[in-house]
Structure 1
Amino acid sequence: MYICYSVSNMKSGAALIYFLCEISLIGKIAEAYENLALRKPTWQQHWYTYKYSYPPDKAVDGKFSSRSPYGGQCTVSGNYKRTATWRVDLGKFLNIHHITIYYRTDNLPWGPDNGYTTRFLGFSLFISNTTNKDDGYLCFKDTNYTRDTIPSNITIECIKHGRYVIYYNERLPGVTYPDGYSTYAYNELCEVQVYGCPSFVIFGENCTFPCPQTCREERCSIVDGTCFGCIAGQKGSRCEQFCDGGKFGQNCAHSCGLCFGNEQCHHINGSCLNGCDRGYYGDRCTQACSEGWYGYNCLDMCDVNCGERTRCDRKTGQCQNGCQAGWKDTKCDKKCDGGKFGLNCAQSCGVCLDKEQCHLNYIGKPCQMMLICQALHSAECLTYHLLNKETAGMNFYHPHKNSAFIFAPFTKTPADPARKTNCASLTEVKVAEDVGGEEINTWEKTIFNRFSKKTETELQLCQNTIKAE
């Protein structure tokens, strides 16, 4: 903040120094920037109307050679008021650098003996986007000056954007003010100059540089072009950088979702440019996979053979609570093999034809596509069926009476032993309804057809193993 004192307030040696300060510093700044308040609309809270008129626009008419109201260049507020407010409307939001105030002196030497010092003490200065000072930014509030030290001309640096510059002072009842303060509040302003650029999108001493377009509303510091805020997706003093580090949006305040490969999301809208990582979906990859789905972008379905059907880890697809009978591996997508079947592939197959792998989860039909036990191993097959408690009473081709093959329907008791077959007519075997059977289904017919294609030697072997009761 620049403060320059009037000559009459200083002793001779110091006076010259401070006078030069005002000439060189303020003069240079004033030349660089434009007086935005000159002849702009004004308003004040209380008018002084006795005998003379001192309207508020006198403070922006560009004239202050006479610092007395009688010179017609100053505004004066009403007497005996507890608050005093004056403002100028710049017409639009502008880029402001500093404000200079020339207070009433009555053209008398300024100092503790000048009665108007007491009225200037304690003032405040605001820049606002509305006519209400409380909506704006407090540029300055006097809390230190005394009648001996307050200058009649004061320049306050306030680098802000705004439309209204508001001067305010108060002497409220019940409040104790410092010694030297007047009893009532006044605004006795001979000139208020607001220096800055005629547009809020330019900066520099000569107002020649455009603010970065990445600044929010293209507003920047009038001094160095630093932004007062960035548009969504940008950061940095001049908003020259994209949001990163897993952030996006306004002020880079929002967190990215789970993008593929932990990539940075779009700096403005947060979308994942290459899709989602495992377990998530949606434009921003913030939604976890719904039940039954997993993987990148949740495009893979959990295997139906999971222990809890279609329930698996949303990232890896690993089934919960193991697998259904006949399936294995973490995703339950591999059939039992190696002569195993059933839940957890923990059961051992019987002796299937051609040593084929048994059915993956048929407890009662352990030999897939060839359930009829080989004749030479019929005793072992029979023992498996009859002694395995898990297969007792289930559907299977039931060898009966030593090695004789007799097709038995579903029953918890042995099939009628009188019902027997001969190897030559295996393809024509039907299950008689009178023993509670069902028509041989397509799958079973396939088995018989396959068996019927065995060589004559095998059929002869089969016939030789059949024994009558």
Structure 2
Amino acid sequence: MYHGCLFFLTGVVLAFGYVDLSKDKVATQSTTPPPAVGDPSRFVAGNAVDRDITTCMRTNVIGLNAQDKTVWWKVDLGGVYNIYSVNLLFKNYDGYERRQQGRFAGFSIYVSSNGMRNNSSLCYKDGPELPALNLTTPCITSGRYVTFYNERLPEVTYPNGYVMSLVYTELCEVTVHGCQASGVYGEDCKKQCPTNCRDSFCHIQKGSCSGCASGWKGTTCDIKCIGGWYGLDCKQQCSGHCINKTVCNHVTGQCDEGCAAGWRGALCSQVCQDGTYGFNCVHNCSGNCLNDYPCNRQTGHSEGGCKPGFTNKYCTKHCSPGYYGYRCDKFCSGNCKNNLVCDHIEGTCRDGCQDGYIGKNCKTTCKEGYYGQNCSLVCSPNCKTCNHTDGTCSCQAGWTGSNCSIGCVGSYGENCQYRCSTHCVNQTCNRFHGICQFGCESGYHGQKCEQEYPSTNCLSSGFIGASVSACVFIATGVVIFIIRRKKICFSSKPSISYKESPYAEIENQQGGASTYQELTREKQRL
């Protein structure tokens, strides 16, 4: 044990000028053998940091025939410190130094900030040569946890001298030397590390940074990340979506002035969600893009066109009044009720159609024979043509009026447009075809009394245009002849009634008057 003490003191001398960081700190280990009677702390992990070389920690045995194959011991320094060296004092037994070296051989030392063992935290790895039982190794790094680790794995071939069975780990002292203050270096721990060293730690002797804070690079971390790079070791690339194409913050990668249109997030690396656009995605799309496509995330434009009923580049404007549909290129019917404009999307008339029209777009006129609101009214049967809006008619022959319900009086034909002949008796004619119902006035004949007779029989075959005097003479002779004959017949045949005389009508004319024209007409009738 005397030699062990000497070795331990030598290790302390090598680290002279630095602080003992591990003294009386919290220590743990993988396993602990049952304590001896009356000495419960004989093998505990804290024995390795109590600065009493006569007390040592111990774990359960490892080895090829043992249950455990690995062993570890760990001390928590209580904070992250700049470390210079680690000294290990392994227990020695007089006459068994080589055996103890074979048990000690193959160990590793890890330093970390979280207590985990990995390649990045490896501080020392024992080689094929058997180690000294009092060993000090430089361990220039920073960390909070210092871990001793060893193993004996069955599938591994170990160097000569390594003890493979009944391997006890017995550490009497573990001393970690370094600077207790953070951000300093040098033998007296009074020099300040460069400002931008990662976690304010630098090489405990040289002052160079083992790593830079985000946004910096170089051995002393005094060079900013440039060219669109940022973060630890300047290994992260900016998104490239900062407003006005500015470079992102060299430390955080954020766009200090905001994101370019169409991008969002702290790093401006996320596109606007569907339905939003613009700077920092604060604007909402119109929602009227064709087929519900999202608008352009930068401009808000609807690149595929607008839904029916909308126009302009944002699809926010309704079709102009009187137009509807895709691209607003369809005309409204103009037949919406109360002259309202049609719906800008489908062209429908929301309040219904004007009289005379049906259909959702009010483009269909009433079918023949119907008119009015919803084409629910029936045209008059006397209509030839019926207006589909108000039912006004072009009448069939014999009828007139707005709905052709008034029969013609003194007129005839379609819409009673023709006056009865003025030569019809009482100027009354058939209202359908104009035939004089009660005959013609004197001097006219034909169905409509439109044909005038020649002047009183003066016209005969071959003597058209005879003189008026000749006609008067002949007519006078005829009258005298008729009168004489009438007297002769009356006197010779008294049994014949007055009414049977073919000339009775001459005597019975109203007022007893008889004219030349009336006699002539009566003769023609006989």
TM-score, scaled to structure 2: 0.43
From the CA coordinates, give the structure whose radius of gyration is larger. 2
TM-score, scaled to structure 1: 0.48
